[in-house]
Amino acid sequence: MGQSGNVSRRNDIGDILHENMLGMGQFIGGKVMPALYVDEQDGRFDKLAFTEVKTAAVSDTTADSAASNEVVHEYTTDNYSTVERRLKEFTADRSNKKMKSFDITLDDAKLCQYYMMLNWEKRLADILFDVSSTFSSYTTAVTTAWSTSATATPVKDVQTAKKDLIDQMNGMVDGVKIVGIGNWQARLDLLATTDIKDRWIQGNTKSDLEDLTNVQLAQVLGLDEVHFSRIAQAGSQIWNTDRFGIYLVSDSQQLKAAPRVGNTFVWRDNSPSMWNVKTWRSEDPDGQWTRVQTDSDEKLITARAGHVLTNVD
């Protein structure tokens, strides 16, 4: 635990918060745009680009004395700029004694982290479910809403979107995951459809379907992962109940070789483990401040690496 004057950097608590973040099943945006740690606060990077529908045909056959043909892969340059984000919580000594908390510092840090994650989730949802601008060219309205359980065809809907996604990326999807995300209502609707029931209940019981895990549901839909959330901010659902998106996901540093819809760039100097925790004493009033901070930028890499289904509810 390093110290600077009255301020103590609590790496021990930061590590716990990082583990806590991974266990919060309601926060799903980071599953699609995972953290990518960078050494500079601002920077430029090369990334895959797909301005043409088809990749170029390059002959790899040459004469014995001729030079090799050159592959000029299509890529472009982009920028990121991380922003410092932080919240703090104060606990008076008198309150601490009354609460008899096992670790009030960790409690305060978790509260700060929770509200910061709500903001992060909202920023990610605004990107990933934006069909009016970001994904306007990569969106499809399902023919029958999934809430119409008897006639909805969610497996076909997802598989068609998956095919479109692969075509959008010229087939370059090896080595990355295809992940689906939606509101928890989409999960309830999916489990109620005849389409899902007919595909799953073969040698299983109705109770088995009710207990269907996300891993099993992903298998039925033909995806690597699915995640659903009912997380709300100020009384409003963060993830639109009418949408379900599928995305290419990667946390690889190879931005020119590993396609993905986006990442959350995190400046490691200020956020070595995503959540940087600092504490300091106050004497007026007597107590302790706990502050959680991170330095991040949610960056869309390419909208081609996503496809959003609408009219699902």
CATH number assigned to the domain comprising residue 124: 3.90.1690.10
Q: Dihedral sign, CA of 166, 168, 170, 172?
A: negative
Query: What token pair was written down for 12?
Result: 């021990």
| Residues forming beta bridges with residue 75, ordered by sequence position | 48
236: in domain: yes
User: Residue 309 has what pLDDT?
Assistant: 98
- The structural domain count of the chain equals 1
Alpha-carbon gap, residue 102 to 257, rounded angstroms: 47
Two structure tokens written together for 64: 């014995």
Helix (H) / strand (E) element for 109: namely helix 104-128
In 190-275, the DSSP E strands lie at: 225-229, 232-233, 236-237, 243-249, 262-267
Q: Does some domain include residue 63? A: no
Residues 6+ apart with CB under 8 A from 271: 293, 294, 295, 296
Q: Confirm whether 61 is domain-assigned.
A: no
Peptide bond into 259 cis (omega under 30): no
Domain holding 297, by residue range, is: 3-50+77-310
State how far the Cα of 134 lies from the Cα of 3, in Å rounded to an integer.
44
Q: What is the pLDDT along the chain (313 residues), one digit of tens a residue?
A: 334 447 666 665 656 555 555 446 789 999 999 999 999 999 998 887 766 545 666 777 777 777 887 766 667 889 999 999 999 988 776 666 555 555 677 778 888 888 999 999 999 999 999 999 999 999 999 999 999 999 999 999 999 999 999 998 888 888 899 999 999 999 999 999 999 988 877 656 555 566 789 999 999 999 999 999 999 999 999 999 999 999 999 999 988 778 899 999 999 887 777 788 888 888 877 888 888 899 999 999 999 999 999 999 9
> So what's the pLDDT on residue 56?
66
68 domain-assigned: no
Q: Residue 26: inside a domain, yes or no?
A: yes
Would you tell me how many other CB atoms lie within 10 Å of the CB of residue 216?
15
pTM of the model as a whole: 0.84
> Is 59 among the domain residues?
no
Q: Is residue 62 part of a domain?
A: no
What is the token pair recorded at 212?
Answer: 């269907």
Coil, strand or helix at 178? strand
In a domain, 247, yes or no: yes
Q: What is the pLDDT of residue 186?
A: 97
Burial category of 268 from C-beta neighbours within 10 Å (exposed 0-12, middle 13-18, buried 19 and up): middle
Show the CA angle centred on residue 11, arms to residues 7 and 15, nearest 5°: 145
